[in-house]
Amino acid sequence: MLTYDCTGFQLDGSPLRILSGAAHYFRTHPRQWPQRLAALRAMGLNTVETYIPWNLHEPAQGDFRRLTELPAFLDEAARQGLWAIVRPGPYICAEWDNGGLPGWLTARVGRRARTSDPTYLAAVDAYLDVVMPAVVERQCDRGGNVLMVQVENEYGSHGSDADYLRHLADGLARRGVSVPLFTSDGPEEHLLNAGSVPGLLATVNFGSEPEAAFAELRRHRPEDPPFCMEFWNGWFDHWGEKHHTRTPEDAADSLRRILAAGGSVNLYMAHGGTNFGTTAGANHADPPFNSTDWTDSPFQPAVTSYDYDAPLDERGTPTPKFEALRAVLAEFAAEHPEEARYLSDAPPALPAPAPLLAPREVTVDSYAPLSPEDPVHSPVPPTFEELGLEHGLVRYTLRVPGTRPAPVPPESADDSPEGTDAPPPARRAGAVLTVEGLRDRATLWIDGERVAELVRGVEGEPLQVPAGATVELLVESLGRVNYGPQVGETKGITGGVRHERQYLHGCRAEAVRLDDLSGLDFQPEPPSARPHFARGSLPLDSTGDTYLAVPGGRHGHLWVNGFHLGRYDERGPQTTLYCPQPLLQEGANEITLLELGDAAPAVIELRSAAELG
């Protein structure tokens, strides 16, 4: 049984320093978990930490999926000699879409999310009823490896509803959680005051200056041991932003100081992995917290890679930071063998990641048009959530009232027959088109002609649109905000479309899902309309990891054998998408792209290294 006091943790009565590393089961292919977890143990860690993303497991209300993954991951961690820390949310942040909250729920409750609102709590309780039994039966006091369970996540950075936190804590206990419950917040007085729960362990999150952070925690909770639940040894990236790095020496120095201060620690991240599909979150620059020096928009979507400049890179390869942190952990274990305890005695040899495929090109040779669902007709543009769409595309079609001005006749007015020089009836001329509440990017067609690309938060040139024109907008979601007051935002056209001051009503909306390509009809000739899907074949005699690039592509999506790898974007810093070995097979493999810019890529390249600029 795990207990604690101000001096530290004790497991079954003996001292234990928790040396944890974050590795999320949902950001790595299950067949790669053994290698990643064994590498954590080889680094000198004794625990692995993972979140549970609610929206992954309940994408629609009552539709629970992929429930075997968490227990399988915890069991594999035990086989690799690791205890576990589980953080079930319901909010997780994690640079994950909507901070893990389901879009169908936040669209309904709005700013009542993360409060004691009855509708919100009913959904939370239904979720926890489903996911927590697998955690409860694997607790360390029942012979399993789960040491601790978190209540919410950094709640002090969001709100002050103490009844909400107490409901979560009491509910977890009622469901059988008997290991220590804890909260985690920034090391500031007001964050700890609002985010912690009386009687529950309080921990802090930071990247440097551990002495000051632990001193603030001690002032707030003198009876609790020092624990850095998120030691940010790297950082995440946004599209258009330079890749974040932190030197191994600086990260190692902070880790050494955490341990010297008597602290337990969770490396965030030990292995970052990948934001597959459309799971990447976003930030919104609400001053003064986020800088926009590197982008024209306050909306900052996260990249597909969650490399995080972690000790293990995106494909599980040890980096120089891995060696630097392993040296610090080995030094601590040698000096404090009574605290550096492990679930298994001997660490494994450091396992190698999968082999890399040789570079080559895949030529695109078949094509399929977009396959939207049946159209929905609405007076105003419906949001993604109103269409039952978590992510993907929506094509909105509207018509500007009136008729086009008549063409000017070639004859001069002097040649007009007598009596016909009266002015024609007034006709509505062109006026500026405005798309309000665009979330997040759209291609605009006027009468079938592509005229512009619109981006959330970016002021473009005024768009003059004539009366009588047909307006088409293909809108793409780039990830819901995962941190701050914009969490819970809806997607699509959330305001309206105006022609001058007049709203355009009578909208046709067609949702395009990107999670299942099985119904597409690929043909050898490209359809006349763009965008469209394009596919090529990759024959393989043996499989391995690879990185995919789309030369000449502006922005879009990639799939491998029907699995949605994620988004690509010419803005960088990520110019290749990691493709794990388990997604490939010997023989023929289908590589599919959807280019949403104004390009027409002809090839997809396999490259032998990640490219993070």
Backbone dihedral angles phi then psi of residue 239, each to the nearest 5 degrees = -60, 135
355 pLDDT above the threshold of 80:
yes
Backbone dihedral angles phi then psi of residue 250, each to the nearest 5 degrees = -70, -45
140 pLDDT above the threshold of 60:
yes
> How does residue 416 score in pLDDT terms, banded at 50, 70 and 90?
very low
Evaluate whether 85 touches 267 at the Cβ level (below 8 Å): no
Q: Kindly state the tokens that stand for 13.
A: 């009565």
Taking residues 27-40, report their average pLDDT: 98
Taking residues 195-200, report their average pLDDT: 98
Torsion of CA 442, 446, 451, 456, to 10 degrees: -20
Please report the pLDDT score of residue 555 as a whole number: 97
Please report the pLDDT score of residue 286 as a whole number: 72
- Token pair 């986020």 is at which residue? 290
> 386 catalytic, yes or no?
no
Looking at 19-33, 210-224, 526-540, which range is the least confident one?
A: 526-540
Please report the pLDDT score of residue 239 as a whole number: 96
Taking residues 17-40, report their average pLDDT: 98
Taking residues 102-114, report their average pLDDT: 98
Q: How far apart are CA 527 and CA 537, in angstroms?
A: 19
Q: How far apart are CA 443 and CA 449, in angstroms?
A: 10
Please report the pLDDT score of residue 529 as a whole number: 79
Looking at 206-210, 433-437, 527-531, which range is the least confident one?
A: 527-531
Please report the pLDDT score of residue 120 as a whole number: 98
- Token pair 């609790």 is at which residue? 224
Taking residues 282-302, report their average pLDDT: 77
200 pLDDT above the threshold of 80:
yes
201 pLDDT above the threshold of 70:
yes
Backbone dihedral angles phi then psi of residue 586, each to the nearest 5 degrees = -70, 140
415 pLDDT above the threshold of 50:
no
423 pLDDT above the threshold of 60:
no
Taking residues 31-54, report their average pLDDT: 98
Q: For residues 154 and 296, which has the higher predicted lDDT (pLDDT)? A: 154
Question: Which distant-in-sequence residues (6+ apart) come within 8 Å of 502 by Cβ?
Answer: 401
Read off the amino acid at residue 166.
R
Please report the pLDDT score of residue 433 as a whole number: 98
427 pLDDT above the threshold of 50:
no
Using alpha carbons, select from 564, 553, 577 the residue that is nearest to residue 279: 564
> How does residue 404 score in pLDDT terms, banded at 50, 70 and 90?
low
- Sheet strands (E) in 250-383: 264-271, 282-284, 299-301, 360-369, 376-378
Please report the pLDDT score of residue 452 as a whole number: 96
> How does residue 345 score in pLDDT terms, banded at 50, 70 and 90?
confident
DSSP state of 25: G
CA dihedral for 315, 317, 320, 324, sign (positive or negative): positive
In this predicted model, what pLDDT tens digit does every residue of 141-158 receive, in sequence order?
999 999 999 999 999 999
337 pLDDT above the threshold of 60:
yes
Q: Kindly state the tokens that stand for 457.
A: 């938060």
> 230 catalytic, yes or no?
yes
Paired sense of beta strands 264-271 and 227-232, if any: parallel
310 pLDDT above the threshold of 80:
yes
Read off the amino acid at residue 372.
P
Please report the pLDDT score of residue 413 as a whole number: 41
408 pLDDT above the threshold of 60:
no
Using alpha carbons, select from 3, 19, 7 the residue that is nearest to residue 340: 19
Taking residues 548-573, report their average pLDDT: 97
Using alpha carbons, select from 277, 229, 275 the residue that is nearest to residue 96: 275
Taking residues 191-217, report their average pLDDT: 98
Please report the pLDDT score of residue 348 as a whole number: 79
Taking residues 14-18, report their average pLDDT: 98
Please report the pLDDT score of residue 277 as a whole number: 98
Q: Kindly state the tokens that stand for 541.
A: 């005699």
In this predicted model, what pLDDT tens digit does every residue of 482-526 receive, in sequence order?
999 999 999 999 999 999 999 999 999 999 999 999 999 999 999
In this predicted model, what pLDDT tens digit does every residue of 46-86 receive, in sequence order?
999 999 999 999 999 999 999 999 999 999 999 999 999 99
Out of 154, 339, 390, 510, the active site residue is 154
In this predicted model, what pLDDT tens digit does every residue of 452-481 receive, in sequence order?
999 999 988 999 999 999 999 999 999 999
Taking residues 331-352, report their average pLDDT: 90
In this predicted model, what pLDDT tens digit does every residue of 315-329 receive, in sequence order?
999 999 999 999 999
What is the chain's mean pLDDT, rounded? 94
Out of 76, 152, 230, 241, the active site residue is 230
412 pLDDT above the threshold of 50:
no
Please report the pLDDT score of residue 425 as a whole number: 42
For the sheet with 2-5, list strands across it: 2-5, 8-11, 14-16
Q: How many CB atoms lie within 10 A of CB 223?
A: 10
291 pLDDT above the threshold of 80:
no
CA dihedral for 76, 343, 57, 305, sign (positive or negative): negative
Please report the pLDDT score of residue 70 as a whole number: 98
Assign residue 257 a region: left if phi > 0, alpha if psi is -120 to 50, beta otherwise? alpha
State percent of the chain over pLDDT 70.
94
Question: Which distant-in-sequence residues (6+ apart) come within 8 Å of 529 by Cβ?
Answer: 369, 370
Q: How far apart are CA 538 and CA 214, in angstroms?
A: 53
What are the beta bridge partners of residue 267? 21, 231
Please report the pLDDT score of residue 406 as a whole number: 57
Paired sense of beta strands 507-512 and 393-399, if any: antiparallel
Q: How far apart are CA 276 and CA 283, in angstroms?
A: 18
